[in-house]
Amino acid sequence: MINRGFLFIGLVALTVILGLMPPASAEEQSDCVTAPVILPLLGGEGDAPLIPVKINGKPAAMYVSPAFDYIYVRNSEGIQFPKGYDDAKVVINGTYKESAFHSKIKELVLDDIPLKDVDVVLLAKASTQVVDGRPIVGVLGRAALSRLAVLIDIPERQFAYLDVKDTKACKLAFKTFLGNDSHSVDMEDDFTVHIRVGEKKKRVSLDPDLTYTTFPSFWISSLKENLEGLGDQKKFTHYDDFLSVGQGALVKNLFMGGAPIENEKVVFQDEVEIGSLGLPFFTDKIIIWSLENNRMYFAIPAHMRPLSKGQGLHFFATHSGNVSVRDRRGDVQ
């Protein structure tokens, strides 16, 4: 059973949610989480995690993904960012480069909490994306996701920052929140975790901004016995203006934290050097990561409510398709 009600009614009523526990234990657990920030996830099915923010007093939205090292922004209609004195280059997918500039957000507001003079990287290409009437202006990367524990609950469309006390009793709080059927896995400082495919252990990053899960092509030889459908189709992906070609496959015998990850579709790409768990991995899970504890926790709810159809929104716009190998004509399907 997964105890998720605390996201809807807040910290004050947490003891009610934990009412099945002995009173003393419930009180200890309720004292673990202080000053939570709770925000809805915007958009719908197929959209990367998006949260509402205010940029210098104006409503906006930003993606959330620990695969990004920093906070990246783009100019949009009605919201412009100042260019810094020096420029930079951002590498996408290990190959494609985009011009960028150091910049600042004078005031970034998350759930009525104002953050002043926030350092960001401004990408040269402007954004035209809009969600729920808000311009999408950027992505919160690891620089904004490291100090507090973070919860992403796509099934219930919730995002939360959780400030958890550093005590032995409170280390069990995440397990309590997610229920007895939850699992956890060690997480490195760069937000990578290990998975197991058959007997092979592999390191992957967490990237809900990716349209699908990607593995490096050089993994194919070691994982081949656990791949289904490999070579049937070529998969091509546009990352904004950059084209990448790979092979799709269904990965069998995939485990994380001792839990089986069923029917994970993966694209093997030549350009990548590390695997990345994309949006499909996150879609049916409730996930908490805590860099302080170097741990990621996850659970799959017993029931999934249908989500409204999204727009396929991602910070780095991706468009994918299949090219048949068997008909030898290269027809796009």
**236 pLDDT exceeds 80?**
no
Per-residue confidence band for 220, with pLDDT thresholds at 50, 70 and 90: very high
Res 74: pLDDT: 94
Q: What is the mean pLDDT of the chain?
A: 80
Over residues 287-305, mean pLDDT: 88
Per-residue confidence band for 6, with pLDDT thresholds at 50, 70 and 90: very low
Which tokens hold the place of 132? 């729920």
CA–CA–CA angle 110, 111, 115 (5° rounding): 35
C-alpha to C-alpha distance for 318 and 323, rounded to whole angstroms: 16
Stretch among 128-132, 229-233, 262-266 having the lowest mean pLDDT: 229-233
C-alpha to C-alpha distance for 207 and 181, rounded to whole angstroms: 24
Res 233: pLDDT: 59
Res 212: pLDDT: 85
Over residues 78-105, mean pLDDT: 78
C-alpha to C-alpha distance for 236 and 259, rounded to whole angstroms: 30
**34 pLDDT exceeds 50?**
yes
Res 165: pLDDT: 79
Stretch among 8-12, 56-60, 129-133, 288-292 having the lowest mean pLDDT: 8-12
Taking alpha carbons only, the member of 40, 83, 71 closest to residue 138 is: 71
> Tens of pLDDT along 94-119?
556 778 899 999 999 999 899 999 99
Res 5: pLDDT: 37
**Nearby residues of 155 by Cβ (< 8 Å), 6 or more positions away:** 283, 284, 285, 286, 301, 304, 305
**41 pLDDT exceeds 90?**
yes
Res 96: pLDDT: 62
Q: What is the 3-state secondary structure (H, E, C) of the chain?
A: CCCCCHHHHCHHHHHHHCCCCCHHHHHHHHCCEEEEEEEECCCCECCCCEEEEEECCEEEEEEECCCCCCEEECCECCECCCCCCCEEEEEECCCEEEEEEEEEEEEEEECCEEEEEEEEEEECCCCCCEECCEEEEEEECHHHCCCCEEEEECCCCEEEEEEECCCCHHHHHHHHHHCCCCEEEEECCCCEEEEEECCEEEEEEECCCCCCEEEEHHHHHHHHHHEECCCCEEEEEEECCEEEEEEEEEECCEEECCEECCCEEEEEECCCCCEEECHHHHHCCEEEEECCCCEEEEECCCCCCCCCECCCCCCCCEEEEEEECCCCCCCEC
Over residues 234-247, mean pLDDT: 62
Q: Which domains does the chain have, with CATH numbers?
A: 6-150 (2.40.70.10), 174-324 (2.40.70.10)
**322 pLDDT exceeds 80?**
no
Tell me phi and psi for residue 9, to 5 degrees.
Answer: -115, 0
**330 pLDDT exceeds 60?**
no
C-alpha to C-alpha distance for 152 and 65, rounded to whole angstroms: 10
Beta strands 149-153 and 286-290, pairing class: antiparallel
**What pTM does this model have?**
0.83
Q: How far from 198 is each of 203, 274, 306, CA to CA, in Å?
A: 14, 18, 32
Res 120: pLDDT: 94
**23 pLDDT exceeds 50?**
no
Counting residues of the chain whose pLDDT is more than 90, the rounded percentage is 49
Taking alpha carbons only, the member of 237, 314, 311, 298 closest to residue 65 is: 314
Res 316: pLDDT: 80
Res 91: pLDDT: 67
